[in-house]
Amino acid sequence: MEPALSLAVCALLFLLWVRVKGLEFVLIHQRWVFVCLFLLPLSLIFDIYYYLRAWVVFRLSSAPRLHEQRVRDIQKQVREWKEQGSKTFMCTGRPGWLTVSLRVGKYKKTHKNIMINLMDILEVDTKKQIVRVEPLVSMGQVTALLTSIGWTLPVLPELDDLTVGGLIMGTGIESSSHKYGLFQHICTAYELILADGSFVRCTPSENSDLFYAVPWSCGTLGFLVAAEIRIIPAKKYVKLRFEPVRGLEAICDKFTRESQRLENHFVEGLLYSLDEAVIMTGVMTDEAEPGKLNSIGCYYKPWFFKHVENYLKTNREGLEYIPLRQYYHRHTRSIFWELQDIIPFGNNPIFRYLFGWMVPPKISLLKLTQGETLRKLYEQHHVVQDMLVPMKCLQQALHTFQNDIHVYPIWLCPFILPSQPGLVHPKGDEAELYVDIGAYGEPRVKHFEARSCMRQLEKFVRSVHGFQMLYADCYMDREEFWEMFDGSLYHKLRKQLGCQDAFPEVYDKICKAARH
């Protein structure tokens, strides 16, 4: 009770301070106070509610019965929009602040909002090794259920609040992607409501053009109402090796070699400077060596990226056994390393022991409360980007990141990109090994200007046939965008399915040059 009482007293003092200083001043200059006193407790309440709701719904098996009715309700809304003259584009009615993307989608205010309340796991079929889920199911829900019954997704993206719909309509990646590809590549079927209100199911063999065009389309071909995703048997732990590497050439060589070894279930790199990194490789196992178990997900444990950095500082290799679900969400508590900019003392042992059980604040609540002034400050002085480039271009790419934005740590995650139709595929006819370079933080390059620096980085990514994740700010013009992405199948289906008057083009929905 003592931490809760202390929190209540601090909250009261904070309200008095806000009255004197003004809310905007506090949110900009002392945001950590607001986050600690209000957003952390509120985030915890949200998490408990949604966890209990998901557990009850699945145990009562009520989701499949309700699913059919909810889909019919979506169809009814779309048909009503058509009957009313199709005056504006359609979009999902989910508030923009609820998404994990930091981008603010203003189109929600002008488009017809179609309410889609689909947030349940519908079925787990262990014989077919398939899980069928609704689009708003989160990765936290998926891991909580699947790992409890001995199964997992081949690719399980990191943050708890990422949803299946976002990972399909956008994209998703994890340290197992060098074996299995992106999140879209473990999906076996999509169910959608199209622009005319009709229902369609698509697979690699049924309505295959639509199946391959849906990923990365950002909801501009139809409304996703369910997806079928492959599952694989899970084991209790990840046996994780940590190896510090120095020298850029040695880092790139080591990372490439480990990414090509399919006996590694997981491969990940954290780059702390241009010539200092820790490369991690892991395999799933049911046995843990005595004294080497590390439950990194416990609230009082150091943030994972700080724990990894210790191996670099002490210049030693390491071997640990990490519980599987805690490994999957190893960067969740610190939101990779973004939380250190919001709560500078968040990794302090005293804070972790007293308040770590409430961490992290939900990204959606951070967005909701940031205000226009803070949003603009973040836009101009903060970078959150994932660029996907061929592995053979890694060294050149890291030099470019250093010169254009100079943000560290950098996340390195390898993935295999199959040669399939759609917006994203390799330049040739064969699968190619790529790497996701994730940069999150405050740029340290002199005279950083968001638009010019990011356009320079986007230009490099296009030149090596790479791709930019579309959750982030995109500064390309229309011609540059369609130079990066293959729009041939996408535009064909937009015309064929009557999407041109129903949904905005993906470029108009996500690129800053097109948004007003």
**Range scoring the smallest mean pLDDT among 1-5, 116-120, 366-370, 490-494:** 1-5
Where in the sequence is the domain holding 191, given as residue range(s)? 65-233
State yes or no: pLDDT of 23 exceeds 90: no
Task: For residue 460, tell me if it sits in a domain.
Answer: no
The band of 150, judged by pLDDT with boundaries at 50, 70 and 90, is very high
Question: 280: burial class by Cβ within 10 Å (0-12, 13-18, 19+)?
Answer: buried
Helix (H) or strand (E) holding 272: strand 266-273
- Output the pTM of the full model: 0.90
Average pLDDT over all residues of the chain: 90
Q: Among positive and negative, which fits the CA dihedral 16, 22, 25, 28?
A: positive
Reported as half-sphere exposure (CB side, CA atoms, 13 A), residue 82 has a value of 14
In total, how many domains does the chain have? 1
Q: Name the DSSP letter for residue 431.
A: -
Contact 42, 68 (CB under 8 A): no
Mean pLDDT of 142-149: 92
Task: For residue 502, tell me if it sits in a domain.
Answer: no
CATH code (residue 104): 3.30.465.10
Question: What pLDDT, on the 0 to 100 scale, is given for residue 447?
Answer: 83
Mean pLDDT of 414-421: 97
Task: For residue 418, tell me if it sits in a domain.
Answer: no
Which has more pLDDT, 253 or 87?
253
Task: For residue 132, tell me if it sits in a domain.
Answer: yes
Task: For residue 24, tell me if it sits in a domain.
Answer: no
Mean pLDDT of 360-388: 82
Rounded percentage of the chain residues whose pLDDT exceeds 90 = 71
Question: What pLDDT, on the 0 to 100 scale, is given for residue 102?
Answer: 65
Question: What pLDDT, on the 0 to 100 scale, is given for residue 351?
Answer: 94
Task: For residue 362, tell me if it sits in a domain.
Answer: no
State yes or no: pLDDT of 14 exceeds 60: no
State yes or no: pLDDT of 255 exceeds 60: yes
Which of 439, 436, 450 has its CA nearest to residue 401?
439
Reported as half-sphere exposure (CB side, CA atoms, 13 A), residue 481 has a value of 21
State yes or no: pLDDT of 516 exceeds 50: no
Residue carrying structure tokens 């939900």: 362
pLDDT tens digits, one per residue of 377-402: 777 788 999 999 999 999 999 999 99
Question: What pLDDT, on the 0 to 100 scale, is given for residue 53?
Answer: 76
Long-range (24+ apart) CB contacts under 8 A made by 9-12 are: 10/36, 10/37, 11/37, 11/38
Mean pLDDT of 326-336: 94
Q: In angstroms, rounded to a whole number, what is the distance separating the alpha carbons of residues 350 and 289?
A: 30
Which of 469, 486, 435, 362 has its CA nearest to residue 178?
435
Mean pLDDT of 79-94: 90
Other beta carbons less than 10 A from residue 313's beta carbon: 10
Residue carrying structure tokens 């986050």: 35
| Cα 323 versus chain centre, distance | 21
The DSSP annotation for 88-137 comes to: S-EEE-S-GGGSS-SS--GGGGTSEEEP-----EEEEETTTTEEEE-TT-
pLDDT tens digits, one per residue of 98-124: 776 766 667 778 889 999 989 899 999
Contact 327, 240 (CB under 8 A): yes
